[in-house]
Structure 1
Amino acid sequence: MGKMKPVISLSTSYLQRRFGDDGYAMLCDAAELGYEYVEIGHSTPVSAVGGILKAVSEGVVKVSSTHNFCPIPPYTTGPSPDLYSPSTPSARESSQWIRHTGNSLEFGASAGSKALVCHAGSLSYFFFRPGAKVEEFLEKKEYAGLAENEAYQKALENFLGSAARRSKRDYANMVANFAAVSESAREKGIFLCIENREHVADIPLESNFCELMRAFAEVPQVRAWHDVGHSMIKQLSGFCTQMEFAESIAGYQAGWHLHDCTENGRDHVAIGSGAIDFRALSRFFDPQKHIFTLELNSAVDRQDAADSLKRVQDLMP
């Protein structure tokens, strides 16, 4: 039996602003750019769903994955991946997360998706923000010199210690909420994928992402999803090194968000226009198991979006 062809897709977040409600034209445009697969993004309105399903049924493209929440609830507009959090201590918000994640799974199944990418929220504190000092240093995105800045390193050390302790409660909430939708995901053949994030207080933390994944031992539908732009920003900020993080989650991973990131932290740019060493990262690529999604900013030139696909194809082992 021959090797599986890599599943390399384009996030419709790149196209959504241009096409709005016209899901059919949006997927046709992805095909014109050379993409065989798309990830339906977290800014997709309900009004675009009919056209998307029509394009899929006609074989215009295939759907590799969707991004929670998808389609977005009718009472909101624009990108809404953080509308509800699975790490919340609130029973009411948990109920809403479960409900709308269920809707995302239903849509994903109808489109043939194999993965649902989810944000996990941020550390929950009631009266103070221990990451505030770190955020002050990072506000101007002047990353050069942070490694030698004693005040920054002390603030980062203090934050990471506090964050590791706080995250245990948030992770317990996540396990409960993902478990609540895991049977539906299993029946539909869809993995629930937790994405690494770029902001200071976002979870999962790079330092204990694997601890979280081990907590899902009884919830096998849950996987990790590596966004390389986000891990590059965390490397620039001194939270981790991108290669060590990639190695740490490799055994739990179902897919990637691929885009480049400049040395001043501007991500979602075309592959090859930033500072990420994709050749080095590619040793963790597994075309037999992973989905590879190009998640580009809508401002990226169309030719660069097409070229990014070719660059990723050339990286495949």
Structure 2
Amino acid sequence: MPATSSILSLSTCWNSHRHTEGRALAQEAHELGFEWIEVSHGTKISLLPGLLEAVAAGEIQVSSLHNFCPPPVEVTMDAPDAYEFTSDKTWERERAISLTKKTLAMATRFGTDRVVIHLGSARIRSFTDKLEAMALAGQLYSRDYSDLKLKFVAQRQTASALAMDRVRAALDQLLPVCEAEGVRLGIETRSHYEQIPSQHEMLLLLEEYKDCPWVGSWHDFGHVQRQANLALLDHETYLSQISAHLIGCHVHDVAWPMKDHRAPLSTGGVALEKLMPLVPAGVPLIWELSPGNRREAVVEALNRWREKFPA
């Protein structure tokens, strides 16, 4: 992959549902102005042969795969968290590891050395949705909000150790496969506070695996902004702490406080002009957009992007 920060990639999560043939999916991305795509977790198995043909023909390049790809055949919906490395159920953890190994092998077939992974979640009750509802109702700095957030943080810290032990156990099984396939794992920043890793956990993992070439960070701008909007972290600080370890980014905007996966530079919810200079050159930027973004809006956003962030 060329060493430039201007490589833009479009996640297939935006248009895969509209296609029955993978080559047509790739063609649509190329027509929009993207030379790269990320094959996302919701991409149907039936689309993969056509996508592989498009890659082989030089019609598109693949920046990355998002776990799980191919998706589990027994799950009929797009569910990247259907199986978690942190589950209390041994069989579920084993299934998550098995599916991830298949994703690593598929990445090699697509000619990419990057796989984005979700690590799981702490085994606690989630209050993220409640906090978001309170923030939306104007209660962000109320006493009730502060009390609930502090309770959530305390429970989250208590549950961290067990979840992290399970994450390490999963990585121990995956890293030999990463080395055999020549594929790196990008640990994605998450949108919900109960999800792994938290900011502290990400830094801990990056330190523990600093000498491992197969583990890096994957910054999701929209996800981190959602937590920043709940006063759980500072976006600029977090990105600056992990930027040296970045192997990729998901780029999308947020309509305050939690409606993410909007076209970049469309809502102003993410301060991209301030944050993008923190991303090292050569790190691919994957536009991870919800299917609800209109084609015209994506084209407009892409034109604005190239004006603000020229190659």
Q: Would the TM-score normalized by the shorter structure come out above 0.5?
A: yes
Give the structure 2 partner of residue 277 of structure 1. Answer: 271
Q: Distance in 2 between matches of 1:94 and 1:135?
A: 25
Structure 1 unaligned residues grouped into runs of 5+: none
Aligned structure 1 segments of 4 or more residues deviating by more than 6 angstroms: none
Give the structure 1 partner of residue 22 of structure 2. Answer: 23
Shift of 1:140: 5.8
Q: Distance in 2 between matches of 1:307 and 1:223?
A: 32
Q: Deviations over 1:84-142 (max 9, x none)?
A: 112234332221111111111111110112211111111114xxx2x44x643423651
How do 1:287-302 and structure 2 match up within 5 A?
287-288=281-282, 290-302=283-295
Relative to structure 1, is the Cα distance of residues 259 and 222 closer, same or farther in structure 2, using a 3 angstrom cutoff?
same
Structure 2 unaligned residues grouped into runs of 5+: none
Q: Deviations over 1:269-307 (max 9, x none)?
A: 11122221101001112222x111000111112122233
What is the DSSP-based 3-state SS (H/G/I as helix, E as strand, rest coil) of the residue aligned with 2:187? strand
Shift of 1:223: 1.1
Asked whether the 8 Å contact 1:198–1:233 carries over to 2, the reply is yes
Q: Deviations over 1:188-234 (max 9, x none)?
A: 22211111111231121124320132233464311111111111111
Identity %: 26
Aligned residues: 308
Shift of 1:62: 0.1
How do 1:92-107 and structure 2 match up within 5 A?
92-107=91-106
Asked whether the 8 Å contact 1:243–1:281 carries over to 2, the reply is yes
Q: CA RMSD in A?
A: 2.0
Give the structure 2 partner of residue 152 of structure 1. Answer: 145
Asked whether the 8 Å contact 1:89–1:173 carries over to 2, the reply is no
Give the residue type in structure 2 aligned to 1:278.
L
> Higher mean Cα deviation, 215-224 or 55-64?
215-224
Shift of 1:158: 2.5
TM-score by length of 2: 0.92
Give the residue type in structure 2 aligned to 1:227.
D
**2:261 aligned with 1:268, yes or no?**
yes
Relative to structure 1, is the Cα distance of residues 231 and 144 closer, same or farther in structure 2, using a 3 angstrom cutoff?
farther
Shift of 1:3: 5.3
Relative to structure 1, is the Cα distance of residues 90 and 267 closer, same or farther in structure 2, using a 3 angstrom cutoff?
same
What is the DSSP-based 3-state SS (H/G/I as helix, E as strand, rest coil) of the residue aligned with 1:139? helix
How do 1:194-273 and structure 2 match up within 5 A?
194-217=187-210, 219-273=212-266
Q: Distance in 2 between matches of 1:194 and 1:143?
A: 32
Give the structure 2 partner of residue 7 of structure 1. Answer: 7
Asked whether the 8 Å contact 1:12–1:40 carries over to 2, the reply is yes
**2:80 aligned with 1:86, yes or no?**
no
Shift of 1:5: 6.5
How do 1:36-75 and structure 2 match up within 5 A?
36-75=35-74
